[in-house]
Structure 1
Amino acid sequence: MAGTRRIVVIGAGGAGLAAALEAGRAGADVLLLEAAEQVGGATARAGGVVYASDTPVQKARGVQDSVDELINYYMTVSRHELEPRLLRASAEGTRQVIGWLEDLGITWNPDRLYIAGLEHKPRGHMPTGDTRGLGPAGGAMIVAALLTAVERADNVEIRTGTRCTSLLTGEDQVVVGVRTETGEEIPADAVILATGGFGAGTEMLRKYWPDAVRHGDWHWYLGPDTNIGDGVRMGLAAGGELRGRGGTLLETPNFGRLNDAFTPPWLIYVNKHGHRFVDETDTYCVMPHLIGRQPEGRCWAVFDDAALQKVADGGYVDPYGLGVDLESNWTAAMLRRQIEAGVVTSGATLAELAARTGIAAAGLEATAEQWNADVAGGRDTVFEKQGTLAPVSTAPFYAVELRPAIIGITFAGLRIDHEARVLDTAGRPIPGLFAGGEVVGGLDADVYAGGGTSIGNALVFGRTAARTATGGAA
């Protein structure tokens, strides 16, 4: 129809699908382009937690929370590095996203709320829904709900297998479309970048986050291999400003490409001096930082033969509590294979284990003595770790080195304002250019605030970008 706005959304993960759905509902003619052959992006591979406050789900469980408390938490974790207006848009937006997803078919069980960050309130909302085969866990449930809604819209076209290489600009650097890698030029009244981060882009990692690849062939990325930083590169070429640094890393024993977001409580972590330095079940928000600050940045997971015998040998665990089997590093079958291969070191005594790994024997023996006394007393007196505590007292003893090498999320990205407009280096909106999701920087500081903030922000700013691009209220 005459006057209908043409919106091109690049990237069909959580942010892109949310943007396409909202732009379509606003009456725009939407083209959603995805580099991969399947939609979903990093969202489809994620646990699917949405981090939110002051929600009906929390209230149903009797949790008193507020948007202002969440903003204060974000400011504290970021050491006031982040822009308050962006944080308010995020906190208010995620509260709304919970109900919005519910309208799309996602359900939330108040009993499955959990503490997903460094706070003391359960803000991690676990989804329940159909995955449509798009992934293994809750992220795929969210993608499936979004995709189903998008497919019902006759004014939204999805085109997969289409990588974009550059933005088209007109007078005064107004963004007027995109160019694909085949050379096709697609005009648009507005372009929304939702291309994800650059976890699969080794060149960009080396440039913007070299720590992520310092462990060589140990490192790998949880997201799709199409996430190489296309959107960041295109946005910067159009005059955008880069914000943010670092990202999330998960520790790994390098048994294979297995993602364990949560460590079983029967392991203890020690540094080269043999000292424990953390509650081993602590969140991945802080674990890579703590490991990296140990002498030589080294850490070992230690356990004994009694613990190995008690590990469930089913070959799978359900780390996200979704009733979905995901392969784990910490099953008896896996550990036995790695012991036989010599990847997991064994010793008849703790001193022998220490000698074979390079851990200080006196420190390891003292740590084990303290730990075993705590286990016998039913309380970790050092770090107050909860869960099933297992002593380290039955030979043989085992240790395996861990390194923070699994890339989860990249924080560096394009600077936006609270209306999801991409800003130039002078802080001015670039006309016609918007962004949402992991392509955006400035929503995280060094420490990740909590599991589910990335998906929450992707949905919030994907929706916001669409509303702003179509002329609606952000």
Structure 2
Amino acid sequence: MSESTTIRPLRAAEVSTWDQQADVVIAGYGIAGVCAAIEAARAGADVLILERTGGWGGAASMAGGFIYLGGGTPLQQALGFEDTPENMETFMLAAFGPGVDKAKIADYSRGSVEHYNWLVDCGVPFREAFWGEPGWEPPHDEGLMYSGGENSAPFNTLAVPAPRGHVPQMANKRTGAKGGGYMLMKPLVETAESLGVRVEYDIRIGRLVVDDDRVVGLTARRYGKEIAIRADRGVVLATGSFAYQKEMIEGYAPRLIGRPAAAIEEHDGIGIRLAHALGAQLAHMDATEVAFMADPQLMARGIVVNGRGQRYITEDTYPGRIGQATLIQQDNQSYLVIDEQSYEKALTTETATPFFRQPPTWVAETSAELEAEMGLPTRALQSTIEVYNLHAEQGRDPLLGKKPEWLRPLRGPLAAFDMRGFTAGFTLGGLRTDLDSRVLHVSGEPIAGLYAAGRCTSGLCAGGYASGASLGDGSFYGRRAGLAVAASSPSADRSSIQTHVRN
């Protein structure tokens, strides 16, 4: 049987027996799912989470743990940083586009401080310490960091820079294995389960079940056996991105073909496909975040050039922004050029990603020799270095706007790193939802009984990105989904639904 057939919605009249039942059924036990569960349970709903793996966490528990929050959170204030919802909104509109959902950006910015307080009330710890060095994440347990290029060009001229990367405190972090995301998820899971939220593991969702135009449950498989689960108030999809679904990547986000997915293999787009088969709108399906496997301390002190030896982005910005520019605008062609003094200085700094600090690919005494070693056109790199040095001597970068603190002429022996193909990414597009996390039909109307949050939706980001936007978006609108589904009326007329539930 083809996949297009198996994911089609199932009519409730075809379900002879419901194996399980709850007011609210949530697919996925990552950040969006757990926050939806907490709010639904606190609102008095009986909540059941279906998780396809053997444990909670999803991609969130493996992430660095950034949650993008601002507008004047207590942590920002305690560390002396001023921010307002309006300032946060200005940055996000500029950095997360093009085509961002303006209503969501405004909504998220205005609700950010309350969301921070909610996380703290659930037991998520944040240490009052700021990490101000370039990097992918703090190397220790600092709670706040710039995580989106807010203090770099061009954004530092559009909005007052404020760090918004909030990181849960955790000792003995292991980047990519057990990072700050674990300490985000753990207290939230404990909160959910203390509220009586039920969880079924090792279960894969299969089809949505509908009665007329309303979603009333879903089918799933466990160890090869198909089961049906009734959702009296609604279903919440929190199933992650489609980064590991080959056909969807080829059809929607072809720039990521062949790029390692910075996600988990369970992100196969199942929630998106099930809702789309019911007529749900999709948005920004080509949008991607791009990780760049390079050391930010090195990049800030050198120059990043493309396959023609030309600079194309300010080197002191958010490294994910460098990754996007490299993959999308420069055909994945990139080199880092740095001199000996700056190289040695960078190696004295602390980093959370020491594995990005590899020996240079080429070394040379002059820019002409380095250019020849790299195989670049004659005078291409030399001209770039000459122009860069000319302005760096004056402490400015009129071409791209690198901050003066990172500007110094490149002198003496030079080194270059071959960073072609140093990108990996995950998808940002998905189901279109409203501010209550209701999944929208192509008609523009909400699909009754169906909610979604997290990376299976098109959330705050429509192309641009900042670290923490996914966990922030997923937790914030996961909460909205839980509140909205718990407040919805149970299916009043279930005459066509077999109401018998197997004991």
TM-score by length of 1: 0.82
Secondary structure of the 2:481 match is helix
Matched residue, 1:317: 351
- Does structure 2 conserve the Cα–Cα contact (< 8 Å) formed by 1:212 and 1:405? no
The corresponding residue for 2:301 is: 266
SS in 1 for 2:471: helix
How far 1:27 moved relative to its partner? 2.2
1:186 aligns with 2:229: yes
Question: Which residue is 2:118 aligned to?
Answer: 100
Q: Report what 2:271 is aligned to.
A: 231
Written as runs of structure 1 = structure 2, the 5 A alignment for 1:69-468 is: 69-77=87-95, 81-109=99-127, 111-112=129-130, 113-117=144-148, 118=155, 119-130=159-170, 135-153=177-195, 155-180=196-221, 182=224, 183-189=226-232, 190-213=234-257, 216=258, 219-245=259-285, 246-252=287-293, 264-284=299-319, 286-292=321-327, 298-309=333-344, 312=347, 317-318=351-352, 326-330=353-357, 334-335=358-359, 344-347=361-364, 349-372=366-389, 382=399, 383-385=401-403, 392-395=410-413, 397-403=415-421, 405-407=423-425, 409-448=426-465, 450-468=466-484
Structure 2 residue identity aligned to 1:41: G
Structure 1 CA distance, aligned partners of 2:479 and 2:246? 30
Q: CA deviation at 1:80?
A: 7.4
What secondary structure does 2:32 align onto?
Answer: helix
Matched residue SS, 2:454: coil
1:432 to partner: Cα distance:
1.2
Query: Distance in 2 between the 1:304 and 1:108 partners?
Result: 38
Q: CA-to-partner distance for each residue in 1:112-166, whole Å, 9 max, x for gaps?
A: 244333443324142333479894322221111212222323x212233222122
1:67 aligns with 2:85: yes
- Aligned pair count reads 439
Q: Whole-Å Cα distance in 1 between the matches of residues 55 and 262 of structure 2?
A: 16
Query: Offset of 1:278 from its aligned partner?
Result: 2.1
Conservation of the 8 A alpha-carbon contact between 1:300 and 1:402: yes
> 1:10·1:16 contact (CA, 8 Å) conserved in 2?
yes
Q: Distance in 2 between matches of 1:285 and 1:251?
A: 6
Partners of 1:306 and 1:397 lie apart in 2 by: 11
CA distance in 2, matches of 1:78, 1:466: 25
SS at match of 2:368: helix
* Change beyond 3 A, Cα 1:266–1:75: closer
Q: 1:267 to 1:200 in 2, by over 3 A?
A: farther
Q: How much does 1:281 deviate?
A: 2.2
Amino acid at match of 1:398: A
Shift of 1:110: 5.0
2:52 to 17, 30, 35: 35
Residue 387 and residue 412 in structure 1: after superposition, are their counterparts in 2 closer, same or farther (change >3 A)? same
CA contact (8 A) 1:24 1:156 kept: yes
Encode CA deviations 1:83-111: one digit per residue, 9 max, x unaligned: 43333332233322100111122233454
Distance change >3 Å, CA 133–CA 266, structure 1 → 2? closer
Distance 2:298 2:250 in 1: 28
Are the aligned partners of 2:85 and 2:109 in contact in 1 as well (CA < 8 Å)?
yes
Structure 1 gaps, min length 5:
254-259, 319-325
Q: d(CA) in 2 for partners of 1:206 and 1:306?
A: 44
* Aligned equivalent of 1:323: none
After superposition, what is the alpha-carbon deviation per residue over 1:5-28, rounded to whole angstroms, capped at 9, x for unaligned?
521111111111111122222222
- Corresponding position: 1:471 with 2:487: yes
Q: Distance in 1 between matches of 2:272 and 2:317?
A: 31
Q: Sort the Cα spacing of 1:164 and 1:131 in 2 relative to 1 into closer, same or farther, 3 A.
A: farther
Higher alpha-carbon deviation: 44-53 or 201-210: 44-53
Return 235-244 or 67-76, whichever deviates more.
67-76
Q: Displacement, 1:303?
A: 2.7
Q: How many Å separate the matches in 2 of 1:200 and 1:361?
A: 41
Out of 26, 29, 32, the position equivalent to 1:9 is 26
* In 2: Cα distance, 1:126 partner to 1:172 partner: 41
SS at match of 1:145: helix
Taking the aligned partners of 1:261 and 1:228, their CA distance within structure 2 comes to: 31
- The letter for the 2-side match of 1:116 is S
**Cα RMSD over matched residues?**
3.1
2:213–2:447 contact (8 Å) kept in structure 1: no
Residue in structure 2 matched with residue 257 of structure 1 by the alignment: none
Q: Which amino acid aligns with 1:19?
A: A
How far does residue 168 in structure 1 lie from its aligned partner after superposition? Answer: 1.7
Residues 415-460 of structure 1: CA deviation (Å, up to 9, x unaligned): 1111111111101111111111111115322222x32222111111
Going from structure 1 to structure 2, the CA distance change for 1:24 and 1:79 (only over 3 Å counts) comes to closer
Q: TM-score, normalised by structure 2?
A: 0.77
Unaligned stretches of 5+ residues in structure 2: 1-20, 131-143, 149-154, 490-503
Q: What secondary structure, in the 3-state scheme, does the structure 2 residue paired with 1:20 have?
A: helix
Contact 2:460 2:469 (8 Å CA) reproduced: no
Counterpart of 1:322?
Answer: none
Whole-angstrom distance in 2 between the partners of 1:122 and 1:387? 18
Structure 1: distance between partners of 2:317 and 2:439: 35
Return closer, same or farther for 1:74/1:178 CA change in 2, 3 Å cut-off.
farther
Distance 2:405 2:187 in 1: 34
